[in-house]
A = this chain, B = another copy of it.
Amino acid sequence: MCDYYFEDLNPGDKFTSPSFTLTAQDLIEFAQKYDPQPFHLDREAAEATHFGALVAPGFQTAALSWALAIKTGVFRKSALAGLGVEGLKWPKPVRAGDTLTCRFEVLETRVSSSRPGTGVAVSRFDLVNQNGDLVFTMRMTQLLRCREAPAVSPGQFGAR
């Protein structure tokens, strides 16, 4: 079942994404564009740093968590916009070759009073590696479409 709308999500609902193995190439390509620091750029340079090995950029880890959450299909029809994210933490580093899975849980839901046909959900997204270690966590507040929603005009969420 992938046709989730706001009404289908309730506090306590939990989902688990498919898994994804991060390659050194994925990691280095992201770092070259978005986080060109030695411990993200190449194996040898990383070995000489305090991390001792190549580690994934923090925002790549965050983006991957969301990419994996999308693969569940829960947000395919429901997602309208991200309203905010809090509490990003990286308890352990992500290494090249790690196999990552995103688990997320709905914490709060409320119908939007200002935007008819939409609701707001707050969910916690946890990324775990192949050993079950938590490597990243965040809480995201999302604007979601209701099942019986009036048409949303283009540009209505220009200012989110």
Contacts and interface: CB of A to CB of B under 8 A. Distances in A.
Contacts of A75: 37
Given A63-B57, A63-B60, A63-B63, A91 B50 contact: no
Q: Quickly give the copy total for this chain.
A: 2
Contacts of A30: 63
Contacts of A88: 84-86, 88
Interface string A50-77: 1111000111101110110010000100
A87 interface: yes
Interface of A: 26, 30, 33-37, 47, 49-53, 57-60, 62-64, 66-67, 70, 75, 79-93, 152-160
